[in-house]
Amino acid sequence: MPVDVTSKLFTPVKVGALNLAHRVVMAPMSRMRSNEDDSVSDMMVDHYAQRASKGALIIMEGSVAAANGRAYKGAPGLYDDRFIPGFSRIAHAVHTKGGLIFAQLYHGGRVSHTSLQPDGGSPVAPSAGPFFGHAATEEGEVVASPARELTIEEIRAVIEEFRKAALRAKVAGFDGVELHSANGYLLDQFLEDSSNKRNDIYGGSIENRARFVLEVTNAAISVFGPGRVAVRISPSGEFNEMGDSNPEALFGYLAQQLDKFPLAFLHIIEPRIYGNDDKVTATAIPPVAAAILRKHYKGTIMVAGGFLRDSAEAILQSGDADVVAFGRYYTSNPDLPERLRRNLPLTKYQRQYFYGKTPLGYNDYSVHEELVSAGETNKTR
């Protein structure tokens, strides 16, 4: 099938300090396949190597920035130097194929359980208010344990943990880091007034609630320098019981402040997505978050949330975004950029394999040429 030479999706773009061959990015996706001690598994190295390609950016799955930040079992850790060798293996595997990779740093905050905490302690959060969400433990999905409020001193310690995690990613050879300030995890919990009930310098006004995210961003930039730190946000996101009384004002202010930083990009999850699923159907709800925040943020915008080839092309042509992150179809199409470039059939993703401890539905998908050779171009699981 001929390549569409008018496509903007496959034009080169400079993203911060990186030069990308095209605008298709692999989104960060939790897959829960780390080793039992939170270290990188052989499966994970193979997974990212399979999906790496020349000039293409991968954002690795959320990696725990602090020992008390685990929201689910199976996430890789970056809270200790012992994790650096495993991350180095992933960076080397991606770079060997000419690709680029960012680590994503996250802290679960209140989305946790005592069994995931050091010494069985309580999860931490901006406030100790009620939360009825779930955490993924060895025993499966369980109701999260009650969280306690972080002190000012502890907040500063968490910021330092993010800085140290960023440094470990740099030592491991990663090209940059993305800070996970979306989907109801700790940074997002500080932002939104449904979860932040503080009355000190980290709570109350929009300016105060944004302070933590901005300070963590500054800490990461102090490690990587300009153009190698990104921030991911989910305006109007509802996952993990999130919500804000005035999301447009909150995220508009945050975007204005982040525009002052030398970020690689601002990564925006469109509100039509709920966790790893569509709220209704992604194609039925137009992307709106990037269009609104483009007025406040003049740097590179990456969008994610139910995009396919045509919808990705449309938002790039509109100017509301500069690059597009694809998640679910990257699980089942290791050669996704090439399939999109040539408008080839996509292997359907299978939800039952999103999370697990085996290579099944993780490293056993084929690239298009292999399917053609086997006569299975429309293969689905």
Q: How far apart are CA 329 and CA 322, in angstroms?
A: 20
Cα R_g (the chain), whole angstroms: 20
- The answer to whether 111 and 144 are in contact (CB under 8 A) is yes
- Per this entry, what is the length of the chain? 381
Q: How far apart are CA 105 and CA 255, in angstroms?
A: 19
Beta strands at 124-125 and 100-106: parallel, antiparallel or unpaired: unpaired
User: Residue 342, exposed/middle/buried by CB under 10 A (0-12, 13-18, 19+)?
Assistant: middle
Close Cβ partners of 73 (under 8 Å, ≥ 6 residues apart)? 32, 116, 136, 137, 138
Q: Is 185 a catalytic residue?
A: yes
Q: How far apart are CA 289 and CA 269, in angstroms?
A: 8
User: Residue 90, exposed/middle/buried by CB under 10 A (0-12, 13-18, 19+)?
Assistant: buried
Q: How far apart are CA 235 and CA 244, in angstroms?
A: 9
Q: ∠ CA 317-319-325 to the nearest 5 degrees?
A: 80
- The answer to whether 350 and 47 are in contact (CB under 8 A) is no
DSSP state of 119: G
Amino acid at 120: G
Tokens 């880091």 correspond to 177
* Ramachandran angles phi, psi of 214, nearest 5°: -65, -35
Tokens linked to 162: 């993010």
* Ramachandran angles phi, psi of 358, nearest 5°: -125, 165
Tokens linked to 371: 């399917």
From 72, 79, 185, 330, the catalytic residue: 185
Catalytic positions, please?
Answer: 185
